[in-house]
Structure 1
């Protein structure tokens, strides 16, 4: 609805009584786009020769619907306008909507269900979520936790919800509960280069530099399968509900049915990294990211990224947040512009992406940078304590691996120490 149409439609507004005005405005606002409501307000003020509060004149349900379009900061400003607006902004459904908008970024809607069963106020809950967002954006870690147990460098770490699995050169895989900070299970074997796990299937997989991959029950520690087939050391593995893909230093990719322990296909991909999705295997082959059919090994498509490892890191993390990968090829081909915005500057090998917020954490010796590229590209040094609880300084230690999840940075050091930076 254009401004002239609004002005014409409202020409007889003064002749209506209070109840008729409410009905009239309700129908008029329904026809407006959100950005046109301000125009409507201004015209009402001009024509009625006073400050006309259109929001207060509307039924409460419609006023709440309008306020839901605002962000948290604007809602707090609105409550200073009048008592009526203050009462509207106290409606719990408004703040619940704001909470869901933040939680949707991380696909953590189950957190809202837990919150709904508690007595916590939705506005207070939103303030906590908003504070996390601001701290994460500004790189200000609020606390740091340490997990001690590994005796040698941490080569890989995978974090899902509150479970962390780490593989180390000390010949162990450890499963940690991040809520308690305790190691729930230690799995022994060989020098582990990479790990992955599936909470739904309750299995954990790890590969060694000695050409083997192991599958355990992550609750009992029972060894379910040992997979052998590579002729060189395994450098990367990836699990799905039925299959596991492993990539060796000779570039070969082998797909197994981990439940049966059967080899499905060997793909001479010249790959350095691999990720499995349903019936598709994604691999980084030089500067090309290729997708292979899981059952026959045929290359489905290939896309070239000049950024190489950086492009791969973004893509596999981006796709992992998608509910479906039916349009895998289209999604990948859309990404170069996003990746190119980061630039071709030096990025540490120890890095990870928060793709939903457009952020990259890159770690060097004891230092972190948070790169924001969804707005004007800028870098922020992450602030965090540089000593553990025993007074040991790890600020100059070499970092082996970095993993990001929901306002947390998991850091595996070459000494075996694991640090968790939290941005609450």
Structure 2
């Protein structure tokens, strides 16, 4: 057998590549030590490019973009290890996004590091934390120049990779294309107040709920926005989400008290709800399922539960949990396969196993109840009504670190290298002479924080946010302090 180099003579190179493609990186390293011929095969760029794609590194790249994919994979894995270490040790840069003066924070949303916020003054601002350019532009409505200072309060804001959406208290909905400019590309008016807004994660579908109507908006082939579908529901909508990966025929999921709707744009005549005995308290959707918490009706009944509904099968597939408190938040879209994380008013964060319909892990997290939660393959970030943000390593059942602010946590969004949190006030205050003082007002306005854990490319910005101003800037970043010697990045 040693005298017959079958990979050199009898087996073509293409077939050898097909055999080696079933090996992982450790096996390829062992095969590279067998012989020179095997080393050439084991280091083929096609094999290492495939490994990079399978592990999720540089998914948008082609094989011709780099000359050595083995080295690229090593660099990506080293960066991944560095980011995970920084997450665990809370090592990185943090910044408080600048607030609109004389206004309280109403709603916050983010997508891939781009943050949108709406205020009681009617202002809508957008930050791109990926570039650490915190000079946030204002998104103007069409009548902002005609009626300065008379803008209605913002109820909801949503953002994705290309669109920004804001709903006002007077029933108007503004849609901006972030690639075009700060003026809306479409403005839609409802006759009543908007109760819920949803924006597709990727694509250009917007859904709104006002009174007993749910409207789905979508641009046509010429780029003009139009009503793609309109539905009539029986009760006021509490929660509204758009199902991912259904851009050809958009599908929305809505809950109205004890009613659950699956609204399909290609079948607008079908609005038959699924009826529950208990009101729905929270909602999240994935491409194939919808998860929502249902409220308990008293001690004589069962406790609160989370129901998982199969969108394709159109039936229940799981019934999870049995808690005394109400479920306030659930995260299905970002959770690992077959897992789901939820937050409850009983102070606990729970991980549910969809395969066994059992609770895989439960731990006490927040004293006043959990208000926001998200998880990935190794960590959970949770927010509480008391204003605490906690990061957990759920494999070790251990809290890594926490940070506190004054107001309840209403928004949490993270990826491998960044974290966005928003503390939104319980109630909006009317401006008065007592709140004219800056330090007094900042206790009521709300807070948006951006954490960046990729310190290898932000080492030059490791100074505090107040020390990041240029020489021509006299006002500091926080608390209106003036810098005698502003930070010089050069």
Q: TM-score range with shorter-chain normalisation?
A: 0.5 to 0.7
The CA deviation at 1:251 is: 6.4
2:388 alignment partner, SS class: coil
**Does the CA contact (< 8 Å) of 2:194 and 2:208 recur in 1?**
no
1:351 aligns with 2:305: no
The CA distance in 1 between the partners of 2:105 and 2:48, in whole Å, is 45
The CA distance in 1 between the partners of 2:397 and 2:406, in whole Å, is 21
Q: Structure 1 pair 158/141, CA: closer, same or farther in 2 (3 Å)?
A: same
**Structure 1 segment 384-399 matched on structure 2, within 5 A:** 386=403, 394-395=404-405, 398-399=408-409
The CA deviation at 1:316 is: 6.8
Q: Structure 1 pair 193/306, CA: closer, same or farther in 2 (3 Å)?
A: same
Q: Structure 1 pair 94/404, CA: closer, same or farther in 2 (3 Å)?
A: same
1:109 alignment partner, SS class: coil
The CA distance in 1 between the partners of 2:278 and 2:234, in whole Å, is 18
1:17 alignment partner, SS class: coil
**Does the CA contact (< 8 Å) of 1:68 and 1:94 recur in 2?**
no
The CA deviation at 1:157 is: 0.8
2:388 to 366, 373, 396: 366
**Does the CA contact (< 8 Å) of 1:158 and 1:196 recur in 2?**
yes
The CA distance in 2 between the partners of 1:118 and 1:21, in whole Å, is 25
Pairwise CA RMSD? 4.7
Instruction: Report the equivalent of 1:268.
Output: 233
Q: Structure 1 pair 361/129, CA: closer, same or farther in 2 (3 Å)?
A: same
The CA distance in 2 between the partners of 1:77 and 1:117, in whole Å, is 20
Instruction: Report the equivalent of 1:420.
Output: 450
The TM-score normalised by the length of structure 2 is 0.55
Structure 1 gaps, min length 5: 1-13, 28-58, 320-326, 387-393
Instruction: Report the equivalent of 2:129.
Output: 178
**Does the CA contact (< 8 Å) of 1:60 and 1:88 recur in 2?**
no
Q: Structure 1 pair 350/21, CA: closer, same or farther in 2 (3 Å)?
A: closer
Please tell me whether Structure 1 or Structure 2 has the larger radius of gyration of its CA atoms. 1
The CA deviation at 1:360 is: 4.7
1:146 aligns with 2:95: yes
1:283 aligns with 2:254: yes
The CA deviation at 1:227 is: 2.2
Q: How many residues align?
A: 345
The CA distance in 2 between the partners of 1:133 and 1:335, in whole Å, is 35
The CA deviation at 1:197 is: 3.6
1:180 alignment partner, SS class: coil
Instruction: Report the equivalent of 2:3.
Output: 17
Instruction: Report the equivalent of 1:109.
Output: 59
**Structure 1 segment 27-176 matched on structure 2, within 5 A:** 62=16, 65-66=19-20, 69-70=23-24, 74=26, 78=30, 92-103=45-56, 109-110=59-60, 112-113=61-62, 116-117=65-66, 121-128=71-78, 130-131=80-81, 134-135=84-85, 139-151=88-100, 152-153=104-105, 155-160=107-112, 162-176=113-127
More strand by share: 2
The CA deviation at 1:397 is: 5.0
1:419 alignment partner, SS class: strand
1:381 aligns with 2:399: yes
Structure 2 gaps, min length 5: 141-150, 291-309, 320-337, 341-351, 425-444, 455-490
1:292 aligns with 2:263: yes
The CA distance in 1 between the partners of 2:230 and 2:257, in whole Å, is 21
More helix by share: 1
Q: Provide, for residues 67-96 of structure 1, a one-character-per-residue CA deviation record: whole Å limited to 9, x for no partner.
A: 7622x5x46984997787888766554443
1:411 aligns with 2:429: no
**Does the CA contact (< 8 Å) of 1:237 and 1:246 recur in 2?**
yes
